[in-house]
Structures are given as C-alpha cells and as structure tokens.
Amino acid sequence: MDWNTHEEDVWFEFEGSQPEQLESGRYYRGTVDGFADFGVFVDIGDHVTGLLHQSELDTRLESLDWNHGDEVFVQVKGIRDNGDIDLGWSIRQAPEEFRGHRVHDPHADDDEDDHDDHGDGDGGGHDPEVRSVPRESTPSEPTDGDDGDAETDAAGHDAAATDGTGPESGHEHEHESGSESGSESENEHESEDEDTDEGANTDTNTNADANVSDDGRTGAPEERTPVDELGDRVGDVVLLEGIVVEARQTSGPTIFEVRDGTGSVECAAFEAAGVRAYPDVEVDDAVALVGEVERRHGELQIETESLERLDGEEEAAVQDRLAEAIREAARAPELDPPVEDDSLDGLLDQAREVATAIRAAVMAGKPVVVRHSPTVDGYVAGVAIERATLPLVREEHPAADAEYHLFERRPLEDRVYDMDAATDDVTDMLERRERHGESLPLVVAVDAGATEESTVGYGLLDVYGVDHAVVAGEPLDAPVRETVTTAAAPDRKADLPTAALATTVARGVGPDAADDLGHLPALPHWGGAPESYRAAAAEAGYDADRLRTLREAVAFGAYFQSYEDKREIFADLLFDSERGERFAAHLSEEFRDRLDEELAAAERNLRVDGVDGVDFAVLDTEAFTHRFDFPPTDLLLDEIHRSGVDGDDVLVGFGEDTLRLRSDDPVDLRAVAADAAERAPEAGVDAVGGRDGHVEYLLGERDAALDAVEAAVADHLAASEAADD
C-alpha cells in the first residue's frame, strides 16, 4: 500500500499518555468508557479520555448501538488548554472501512528499525510520531504473491467497491504491491489521492463504461434507477432523481436522504471532513444524483459523484411523480370500527382522511408530531397512533434512528393546543430544520385542540406552512373546524373516548398493527366500559380486572415527567404481556394507595354551599390537597364525583385562580362563565377548554368568582329542568 495517503483515510492507534500528544484531525481507535446525557466518553489509548458530544453525532444518542468497552473510531477535533479532548463522529466504524492503519507513538525514536520503509509524502525521511502497519489482505486487495493488479468486474469496477467494503468516500482503493513502483506511477497515484481524498466533487464518473446523457450531465447513466431497485445494483453507478427529504452534516460527509416514488435512500456526499457538500441543495429540492450503490452497515447507501439541483420542467416532473406516487401509496384502506359504537359509524371517512395524512407525511419524509392530552384517554389514543406509525417509518426510511426523528409523541399540559405548545413545536422544528435538514412536520392534536383556544396555536403553524390535524372524541368548535387541515371528531356531544377514534385512525395508518390495539378503546372508561368495548378487550385477552389495573397504571405513569412521551415505558405497559402485567400491577398499587390517601383527606375538608336549591360540594384545592404531587386535581375530583357525595348535586374544585366543575347533569361551561362574568365583572371570569374544561378568574377576586359561578350554575340547571318539564 502507498502510505502517501491523507490522514483522514487511515486510523491511528495511540500509544501516548498525554492529551497534548494527540493530533487534531486524525481518526483514532478507542473504547467506550461511559455515557452521559450530553454525549459519550471514549478512551483513546490507556490514559487519555475524550468526549464525543451528542451534537457531533450523525444519529441520535439513544439510537447508538454502543456498549461500555466497545471498540469505536472517533476523530480528534481539538485539545483544550485544560486537557479536555473534543471528539467528532466517524462514519467509518470498522477497520476495513479505512484505507489503512498507523501507530501514533509519541515516544518512538526516529530510526528506520521502528518504521516502515514508506515516507510520509515528502519523498524521503520518516515521521517520528507514526509508523505504518500493513492492512490485512482482503479479497479486494492483492496479497504479496499477487501481481498488484486490482481484480475488476466486467464493467470495470474495483472489486472492493462492488462488495461494499470500500472507504466511506466511495473512491477507488489503493492497492499493495509486491514490487516497487516507479516515481512516475507514484506521482500519478499521489495526484489521484489529492483529487479524491480532498473530497472535490466532480461530474466525472470514474466507472469505465460511463455515459454522457442527453442533458449534458457527465458520467450520468441514461436511465434513472428507482430506489426500490437499488438492492440489485450494488456496485453500479446509477442516476437517481427525487426530492431531498433530509440533509444533515456529519463530521465526515454530508448525508442527503433522497426520496422518489418508490422509497428513499441515504446518499453520502464528501467535500471535506465536516464541510457541507452542495450547500445550495436544501430539503424539498428536486435533484438528479449520480453515484455508486453500496451497502453500509447492512443498509443501502449511494456514494455521490455528482448532485444537481433541478428547476423548471425537470423539477416539476420529479415533484409530480413523487406527489402522485405518495397519493396512491398513502391512501388508507376502507376502515371498520374497532368496537361497535354508533358514534364511530359516521366518523370512518374522517378517520381515513387523518390516517391518509399521516401516511403521506411519513412517505414524504415529513416528521409526524402527535400532541395529546395528559389523561389516560390522551395517552392511550396517542400510543395507538404511535404503534401503527412506527412500522411504516421503519419500512419507508432506512436510517436506524428514523423512528426517533420522524415520529414524536409529546403530551400537552391540558387539552388546549395553545401558544406555548405551538411555540415549542415551531422552535423545535426550525432548529431541527437548520441543524439536521429535516422537513417541516405534520402536527396531530389527539384528545386535545378541539376548542377555540387552540386556534392561536394553529395560526402560528400556518405562518410556517405546517399542516395540522385533530383527532378528538368531542365536537370541534367552529373556528377550529374552519382552521385545521384535517380532522376526525363527532359533530355533536357523545360519550366517545378519543382512544376509540384514534384506534380507528391507527387501523388506517398501519393495518397490520390492528391485532395489538383491541383492548385500547376500553381503557379510558373509568365508570365501566360499554359491553361492546369490554367484548373487544376480552377478545384481545383483557378482562375487567386487567383493564382496571392497566387504566390505573397508565394514569399513574402519565403523571410523572409529564413533558416526556415515555415511549418505551408505555410500550411495555400496554403491549408486553408478561413484563407489562408485572409493571401494571406495580403502578396500579401505587396509584390506589396514593389516591385513597388523598381522597380521604379531601372528603374530610369538603364544605357544602346551598344556592337556590342546588347543593355545591366545594373543595378548596389550594388549602386541602397536596399540590404538585399525585394525584392531579382533575383525577382527584373525578374520583370524588364517582364515589358520590350524598345530597350534593355539583362538585366544585376551587383553586387559586382556576375552578373545575363536576356534575351528573350537563353544564354548559361557556354559558356559565359568560353569566358569571356579568355577575362579577371585576373578577375576569372566562372558560377554557371543552370536555373537562375549567373556569379562570383573577386571584384577588376568587371569592366573588366562586359566588358568581355557583349562582350561574344554579340558574342554568333550573332552566334546563324547566325545559325538560
């Protein structure tokens, strides 16, 4: 092997003991020493440890398949004055993916006994810090007994390139030879290295049978290859036309994920280590790409030789082909409801439209962000959609971490998709677009976002052209119905858990996932599920006791770290039969112990207000509950109401600036709030949310607000009773 190779193409074995003895820019072999929230600690040699920060990774930290002690390859980015070492990600993670191996020994003597007979690019002399170690022979490289000629296939490919073991840049191998090369040959080889290893992107195809296409793209095959045929073209140079759905920069090449009508593939383009290749090409651009098909870590990848941004008629043709393919492939099948429920019958077409929107987003490489309420209904509904969507993400996108950045499920603080939630989402999506080249997402509000308070959040998404959808078991307020892109919700009040509707949507997103979801619609029914729901759950292996245990476990698990999706925990809880049952039993026991204790304390501190013939059981939640501890106020009030307080018609949870009502008789919360606002004009009374909504008021007028709300409720109940008579 000619060791006039750029150091970025070889890996070094470090035999020093001090951080300052390392050389920035080199790739070193190390071992994983430990993990932190912000990255991975890697030992280089015996006495030196550096940090591979999560921002340097080309994958998410949680998706790294690394364990303590694993051999890894990293690049030294810099050594700080205090001895801290900043490491960068190496896309090459096996010795055979480099062009060779050198030993970095800062203590070596400068004599020929300690070094190989190769110079280091200066025509003579030796580098006292490194010595060359011959790379092990592979089928793609001649051994000492060979004649030095690389074995090629009929098309003129380097055999090492065709079997996917070549270097990450995709250029031809250098080969060891049993005979010395002449100076002219060495100069030619060195010149070739400078062209390829410096990462200069050219339009010249190194394949021996390259063509010149009619449109002038040098080296481009005349016919494009669909992504779904790339598996049969490993080792070939192909022309791919599609849309860029992701563009991310690694410490080595730039990775473009390109999608056509048949699938998507990652394409590595190298300019220089950590330098953005083709900086004018962005997400959603139509491109024509020429490169060699390879396999990297078991996945297909194209080593890019040229990449052209299309415009005009060429761009329109690519966009139209992709849009038509997505429309055809994304269309969800005709749906059947998961349970017998008249409320679902009229919503099947709406559920199908939401399912189609989710499928289309996944196929187009757009992240799907599910935002759901923090209730049992919200969690179960969100998990149902997650369960159906993740297999589709894995099928459509080859990257190992695609399921983490192309699907997210995040709970809201309540059932409103307000400005806070929308701002969080917009900030996150813009940052991810800037840092990782991701497309703008589809935002799906589940068991949330049905009331007019959410229109301000949807409006912010509209500013950035972000599509949104709603799945809710309650009717949408008119402004929401007019605003959202797609929705599935009843047009009148119904006792419909969102989980039942979301499970219907999930059947459209991933029909194969339906077998796992049969028990989910029954879970949100605290007062006992209807017979059809219980029958569906029983068929899935869940009896009434198991449903109760699981319901309580979900409620308890949902409370903690309420801002996290807890994906793996809820997958175990809801779908892992053995471990999930043990886990559910543990959480359910904690749920019941804590709730019973709080319930007993609350019931001792209830007071009764009689207003115009209506008894109000009033709990001062500021004074007589453990704030910021389980159970949350809504769940506690629900339990008090279900347990039944004799002689009381309405339960009131009276907080610092928030009031919640529970009643067997229907109460129009907005009408009550409007009436109370007139009775106490200084209190700033207003209603927020729909099902299980609440009334807000000014802290300084809380007593006046309570009196006004009680009087308004009494009048409305009396009017409702008179109308029934």
Domain CATH number, residue 462: 3.40.50
CA neighbor of 339 nearest in space, from 487, 497, 471: 497
Closest of 88, 27, 91, 268 to residue 171, by C-alpha: 268
Q: Which residues pair with 259 in a beta bridge?
A: 243, 264
Domain boundary among 329, 353, 370: 329
pLDDT tens digits for range 691-719:
778 999 999 999 999 999 999 999 999 98
Two structure tokens written together for 643: 């347990």
Specify the pLDDT at position 297. Answer: 66
Say if 58 falls within a structural domain.
Answer: yes
DSSP, res 374? S
Q: What distances in angstroms separate CA 469 from CA 295, 371, 481, 556, one per listed residue?
A: 38, 10, 10, 28
Q: Is 170 inside any structural domain?
A: no
8 Å CB contact between 432 and 466: no
Per-residue DSSP letter, 224:
B
Are residues 478 and 488 both part of a single domain?
yes
Residues 374 and 496 in one domain: yes
Of 287, 304, 329, which marks where a domain is finished? 329
Q: Which of 329, 352, 382 is the last residue of a domain?
A: 329
Residue with tokens 């030879």: 177
Closest CA to 222 of 206, 241, 235: 241
**Which CATH number is 242's domain given?**
2.40.50.140
Predicted confidence (pLDDT) per residue in 276-309, tens digit:
899 999 988 999 999 999 987 678 899 999 999 9
What pLDDT was estimated at residue 714?
A: 94
* Largest CA-CA distance found in the chain, in angstroms, rounded: 109
Alpha-carbon gap, residue 563 to 124, rounded angstroms: 62
Give the domain extent around 410. Answer: 331-520
Instruction: Read off the tokens for 177.
Output: 């030879």
> In the numeric block, which tokens belong to residue 670?
């907005």
CA separation for the pair 57, 34 (Å, rounded): 16
Looking at the chain, the number of H-run helices and the number of E-run strands are: 18, 24
CA atoms within 13 A on the CB side of 603: 16
Segments of the chain with pLDDT less than 50: 1-5, 109-132, 134-218
Domain assignment present for residue 141? The answer is: no
pLDDT at 147: 42
Q: How far apart are CA 28 and CA 343, in angstroms?
A: 63
Are residues 288 and 338 located together in one domain of the fold? Answer: no
Q: Is 316 helix (H, G, I), strand (E, B) or coil?
A: helix
Are 257 and 289 within one domain?
Answer: yes
Distance of alpha carbon 503 from alpha carbon 498, whole angstroms = 8
- Cβ atoms of 159 and 151 within 8 Å: the answer is yes
* Cβ–Cβ under 8 Å, residues 226 and 259: no
* Pairwise CA distance, residues 685 & 706, whole Å: 10
Contact 629, 697 (CB under 8 A): no
Q: Within this chain, do residues 341 and 318 fall inside the same structural domain, yes or no?
A: no
Pairing of strands 442-446, 368-372: parallel
Residue-averaged pLDDT of the chain? 82
